[in-house]
Amino acid sequence: ADADALAAARARQGQLTKPPGSLGRLEDIAVFMAGWQGTARPVIERGRTAIFAGNHGFVAHGVSAFPASVTEAMVTNFEAGGAAINALADAAGLDLRIVALDLDRPTADFTTAPAMDEDECLAALSAGAGVVTPDLQILTVGEMGIGNTTAAAALSARSFGGSVAEWVGPGTGVDSAGLARKVAVIEQALALHHSAPASPFETLRRLGGREIAAIAGAVLKARQLRIPVVLDGFITCAAIAPLAAKVPAITDHCLAGHCSAEPGHVRLLRHLGLSPLLSLGMRLGEGSGAALAVSVIRAALATHAQMATFAEAGVADRL
């Protein structure tokens, strides 16, 4: 982040007509955005929400409450404007990009093989990077992929340790038998890939999925372009978990839009060193919590830009 812009934004916050610190995280958000945009007065005129969709080979094991065909049906719904993310992206003033990644070709079943070969994983990373253009002032990421809380739990357990059960939750709503199947499938995958190289790329391609690798690619490209990113729920955070376990500073340009009701998310946010902006019991994915958080970020920037200073307003700043 730009040190001069950070300092200028902090100085401005101290002069605005309010007790110091009284806008809480809104002040921190304004300073964070200033640092990454490289300007004392950050704005969101060009923001994008990128939603990546992929299918997973392991869903044959019965780990989701919905059939795999729903991934493609929901992409059609996104394109027709009928999903939650359509309403939320509109409400937040974000350009919505939907990227469906080879939906007719699910990843390999990670209990028997790496989910992706190297070329497939690189192609997905590249597809993610491709939606991040230099003009953007903020990027939010999201996903659609029936079964992908299972991949997210596997990535989290491989990256940060802990028992599989601690990382597993109901996802879209599986019952307790489904939960037990999730745990078993993930334990099998972790055992299979146990002695694989511990690099972030290997973890991502073996245990991730195309939509998950695309998110990682988008977050990395945004970092290169110094574009602030708003992460969504458990899956978007798991997408960067393999890298964050090795390079914790990868989250420096990221905000956690919300804390999902999926139980692994709060644990993962702690490992990533991120404190969520919202906690509203959401667990939809689709980038829904990230897009919602943009309204809070916009409000933070509005106060930062529009408020008068004590001097401008002629208000006494202390007893």
Residues lying near its own copies in the complex (CB under 8 A) are found at 16-26, 64-67, 69-70, 73-74, 76-77, 80-84, 86-88, 90-92, 172-173, 261, 277-284, 288, 292, 295-296, 298-299, 302-303, 305-308, 312-316, 318-319
Measure the CA–CA gap between 265 and 167, rounded to whole angstroms. 8
Nearer of residues 20 and 273 to its own copies, judged by Cβ: 20
Q: How far is the CB of 210 from its own copies (least distance, A)?
A: 21
Q: How far is the CB of 280 from its own copies (least distance, A)?
A: 4
Nearer of residues 88 and 207 to its own copies, judged by Cβ: 88
* CA-based nearest residue to 41, from 66, 86, 11, 64: 11
CA atoms 32, 38, 41, 46: torsion sign: negative
Nearer of residues 91 and 198 to its own copies, judged by Cβ: 91
Measure the CA–CA gap between 17 and 309, rounded to whole angstroms. 5
* CA-based nearest residue to 139, from 13, 231, 72: 231
The yes-or-no answer on residue 286 being catalytic is yes
Q: How far is the CB of 286 from its own copies (least distance, A)?
A: 8
Which two structure tokens, joined as six digits, stand for 78? 């996104």
Measure the CA–CA gap between 229 and 255, rounded to whole angstroms. 6
Nearer of residues 39 and 172 to its own copies, judged by Cβ: 172
Cβ neighbours of residue 121 closer than 8 Å, sequence gap 6 or more? 201, 204, 205, 208, 213
Q: How far is the CB of 50 from its own copies (least distance, A)?
A: 19
Q: How far is the CB of 260 from its own copies (least distance, A)?
A: 9
3-state secondary structure of 81: coil
CA atoms 58, 62, 64, 66: torsion sign: positive
Nearer of residues 69 and 224 to its own copies, judged by Cβ: 69
Of the residues 72, 202, 286, 312, only one is catalytic, namely 286
3-state secondary structure of 230: strand
Query: Catalytic amino acids?
Result: 286
